[in-house]
Amino acid sequence: MEQLVILDEIITAHGKKIAHLTINRPGRLNVLSLAAIKDLRSNLAAIAKNDNFAAVILDGAGEKAFCAGGDVTEIVSFVQSAQGGELNPASEYFINEYTVDYTIHTYPKPIIIWGDGIVMGGGMGLMQGGSHRIVTEKTMLAMPEITIGLFPDVGGTWFLNKMPDKSGMFAGLTGLRMNAADAILCNLADHALLSSAKADLLKSLESLELSDNAKENNDIITDLLENMSGQHPKLQVSEIEAHFELIEQIIDMENHVDSYHKIIEQQAHSEWMQNAVTPMVKGSPTSFAVIFEQLDPKHNLSLKEVFMKELDMAINMTAHSDFAEGVRALLVDKDNNPKWSPSDLSEVEQAVVNGIFASPWSDDKHPLMDL
């Protein structure tokens, strides 16, 4: 059976190793199955304990994607296998996925993320915890969960709120597609290289004089990437930057229905805005209301609290009919004609939204309490 996660070793100048982990599902754009997530989790745990490894580089197999997200068709199958009264069987998937994401955020060694190509959903969750997040001219980042009746999870509550002003809220509500320049500007990436520079990067890592000192290793890798970044021309223009003022005007933090209509009214402002708004208009009204509440900065959660709350939300949201319907319309039947319930934002009841945030567990029994 083909390995879902491949581990190679890069030997550096003083004999220390860099673990080269590759998500190996190129035919599926490296989407994360539960088995792949468990492989990543076990590899990261073993590398953290192994003093021979000084750092990690994580990439995706093939030329198209770092990781296009979670395997949502698998998640739907888990949800639909539930027996009466049983906790959502998808809980095992999300517990493992969020544990991996949190592990990367808090890892004791530098983790380089080669974010080339498509980086969406679960791929963003892996990337955002990295100490050195690299994007290229081929990078396309997005959190498009509204299109499948879900919400921007995998730490989206955390990293979307690190974006400037209201751009993170806008990105979460619309499933906005972002380029490398957007990523650098919006605190979603640290370095921009050309896609063709990957071989040079891997070769350059061999020359690094790494040690047992994680902070020094971090600085050495930063110096290398800054030097390499300086050799490349500016990759793209950030359209988010060009639309900051407009986004600020149309997001009303006090009223999600008003914000929805203000966003729609600006579709004709530019081609970029039209492309940004289209997924939102086609997306789940319930998801819109949930995301608006999720990304309200008033919640001010710690990273651990973010993953705990997102697990609560994931269990409840995947049990809502919109999730299975969204996956069916987008990825299974591919008719792009989901039948949302309800079909209009004005019909989404606040009690339903509140219920999405309710935890199935008591505080002391929460599966992520010990992160």
- The answer to whether the beta carbons of residues 117 and 177 sit under 8 Å apart is no
Parallel, antiparallel or unpaired: strands 5-11 and 17-23: antiparallel
| Beta-carbon count within 10 A of 195 CB | 16
- The answer to whether the beta carbons of residues 52 and 10 sit under 8 Å apart is no
End-to-end Cα spacing for the chain: 32
CA distances from 9 to 14, 52, 133, 202, 286 (A): 14, 10, 20, 11, 45
User: Which residue, 10, 108, 105, 117, is CA-closest to 57?
Assistant: 10
Q: How far is residue 61's CA from residue 3's CA, in Å, rounded to a whole number?
A: 11
49, with CB counted inside 10 A (0-12, 13-18, 19+), is exposed
Q: How far is residue 22's CA from residue 9's CA, in Å, rounded to a whole number?
A: 11
Residue 108 makes CB contacts below 8 A (sequence gap 6+) with 48, 214
Kindly report the CA angle at 327 between 58 and 62, in degrees rounded to 5?
A: 30
Q: Which residues are catalytic?
A: 70, 122, 145, 153
